[in-house]
Amino acid sequence: MDYISSPDFLQDDDDESGMSERAPKARDGIIFLLDCTTTMVSDNLTEAFSIEGAETGLKLALSCCEIFMKNKAVSSAGDMSGVVFMRTNLNFVDAPRILEIRKLRQMSSEKFAEVYGSLPAEESFPVHEALWACQTMFSKVYAEKDGFICLNFFMLFFNTLRSFSLGYKRIWLFTDDHNPVGNKAQLQRQAILKAVDLRQSGIELEVLPVSREREFFCMETFYGQLLHDEPDVDSLPTNLTQRIADLLSHGSSLEPSRRRASRLPFFLVPSTAQALTTEGEPSHALAFGVSIYCLVRPAVRPRPVRLFAPANELVTVKRRYYKVCNDAHPHRGVCTDPENIVLPQDLVKGLRAGSRTVYFENAELSGRSRQFVAVGIHLLGFKPLKRLKPWYHLRAAQFVYPDEGLAKGSTLWFTTLLSVCLRRQIFAIALYVQRRGMPPRLVALVPQAEKLNENRSQIVSSGFHLVHLPYQEDVRQLTLPKSAPDLVANPRLQRHYAELEALALELPSPKEVPDHTLPNFQQIKERAGKEIEAFAALLHRHASFEGQLSSSLAKKVAHSPSTLAAAELRNDSPGSSEAIDCIPHR
């Protein structure tokens, strides 16, 4: 049996971001539903929506699609993005790349109407069929080259479709027709029923109206009734122009997924070692379920991957261990005979300690031997909020929220504990074990009350902030910044993403990416330009005075007898290559 000595295999495998890598990552899906009416294709937009290269409503919607998909390619490349054209006469699907959107956006209005067709806005259209088509795309995502074909729809899907389930599903409807069904009550009822069906299926529908010149979009005519059960419908008509502007100005930023990091039990009484079973879980304990969310994570450059160039596919790397004879030459390679392969269960890891090596079996390194406390949050006690200092924040805090899926009644227990902490202005101290095999950490649970805006919509959720408390050696003097450094884009990452985007979209080399970390020299010149010039002139005069003084001293030294003697000595020894320096005596 071969022994492998590794000095770092016992190190803690804690994830600094707080995200569990063992949990399956669900993919998000979004569909851009574009209403291709004749006015949407040809009419000009108002000044609030008009931007360069997007004169019509359709081009504006396609610009939003392109920018959103570019951002998705950076933030989460595995998410699904699709485009559905509504009120068209073509039943054809083929859009393997995002470059197809650019071709569509560069088409003229007459060319688009000739190729794909469009229907007038005054004509009644069954909106429920468009919503049904989007729901079908979400529920039946499978590998098929030609995608989906439905009547009066033109569908585009830009990702490779495979059989998997989607997590967060959204539909963004871009339209300039505030009453697509007209006076047909049957079509309106069917659309409302289909919208209710979408909500029950976990699909979120959002309407983004595109205003035309001399035309006002009234949300309450049709879409207000369609979305009357949405939880945040009150915030939809307030600032729709800003919503589209945010989509257009959305740059390449790495956005973390807003899903829970883990689901854990919250023990009201600490679980001791005697309460643990052989599987490492408590047998009987008073606890309720909570979910952990990661609010802040550092943005890092993505790791490079190996690709097979002819097929542009990922290369899978497999590591295998083979037996090596003691008399084998170290530079002749290893015999890859299947008989010499070492299985993973036969490997033994070791740690060098002095002149001896300590070996460990795989069962000893699985994490169970280090499981002193059950996985979860163990409540220890309470402290006043004034005892929690700002410098106790050792790392990025997490957010704790109740989870009814883990234990029924968790919301009631959680709300009771939160209300008591808010009323008495105290925070909880607990032991935190996020995953099996991790050591317990001392944390502070800081309560946070719910906040509502003017429209009675929630802007701050209620819950606990999980703050990691430091040890004595972690406490040091820090200068807290007064600004918000997380709002400054990383120039290195922006340059990296710009080069990747230019390479993928076959664009020329990107221009210089603006570096917002550099000082604003223009503003400095406007505010303190005269003072800086006066200070520089003063330094220049001082430097010139010192230069004159040094030159006068050099002349005196040059005429001293010792210096002349040294010069004569150099001239008398032409074969000498060394310089002789004589310091004058005073």
Residue pLDDT, tens place only, 174-198:
888 878 877 888 888 888 888 888 8
Distance CA 497, CA 66 (A): 15
**155 pLDDT more than 80:** no
Give the closest residue to 136 by CA, choosing from 209, 67, 33. 33
Distance CA 165, CA 133 (A): 17
512-528 residue pLDDT tens: 778 878 888 888 888 88
Q: What value does the mean pLDDT take over residues 199-217?
A: 79
Alpha carbon 392 to its chain's center? 26
Q: What value does the mean pLDDT take over residues 123-131?
A: 80
Bridge partner list, 401: 291
**12 pLDDT more than 50:** no
CA angle 448, 453, 454 (to 5 degrees): 150
Homologous superfamily, domain 27-248: von Willebrand factor, type A domain (3.40.50.410)
Q: Supply the angle between the helices 57-75 and 491-504 in degrees, to the nearest 10.
A: 120
Alpha carbon 147 to its chain's center? 29
CA angle 563, 564, 566 (to 5 degrees): 65
The residue with greater pLDDT, 489 or 463, is 463
On the 0-12 / 13-18 / 19+ scale of CB atoms within 10 A, 276 is middle
The residue with greater pLDDT, 404 or 144, is 404
CA dihedral in degrees (509, 512, 515, 521; nearest 10)? Answer: 180
How many residues are recorded in the chain?
Answer: 586
Whole-Å CA distances, 407 to 281, 335, 428, 465, 500: 15, 55, 21, 21, 46
Q: Which of 113-122, 263-272, 384-393 has the lowest mean pLDDT?
A: 113-122
Alpha carbon 122 to its chain's center? 42
Distance CA 80, CA 207 (A): 20
CB atoms within 10 A of CB 16: 9
- The pLDDT score that the predictor gives to residue 90 is 59
Whether the Cβ atoms of residue 209 and residue 241 lie closer than 8 Å to each other: no
Distance CA 557, CA 563 (A): 7
Distance CA 16, CA 394 (A): 11
What's the pTM? 0.52
Give the closest residue to 125 by CA, choosing from 182, 170, 65, 73. 182
Q: Which of 247-251, 323-327, 469-473, 512-516 has the lowest mean pLDDT?
A: 247-251
- The pLDDT score that the predictor gives to residue 186 is 86
Residue 266 has φ and ψ, to the nearest 5°, of -105, 105
Check whether domain 1-22+257-480 has CATH 2.40.290.10, yes or no: yes
DSSP 99-126: HHHHHHHHS-HHHHHHHT--B-TTS---
Q: What value does the mean pLDDT take over residues 420-425?
A: 94
CA dihedral in degrees (448, 452, 453, 458; nearest 10)? Answer: 90
Alpha carbon 388 to its chain's center? 30
CB atoms within 10 A of CB 389: 8
Q: If you search the block for the tokens 């076959």, which residue do you land on?
A: 506
Ordered by start, the domain boundaries in the chain are 1-22+257-480, 27-248, 482-515, 521-572
Q: What value does the mean pLDDT take over residues 481-508?
A: 81
Q: If you search the block for the tokens 């995953």, which residue do you land on?
A: 435
**338 pLDDT more than 80:** no
Whether the Cβ atoms of residue 383 and residue 429 lie closer than 8 Å to each other: yes
- The pLDDT score that the predictor gives to residue 417 is 93
Query: What percent of the chain shows pLDDT beyond 90?
Result: 11
Distance CA 228, CA 523 (A): 49
Distance CA 264, CA 292 (A): 8
267-307 residue pLDDT tens: 987 665 444 444 444 455 788 999 999 888 777 777 788 88
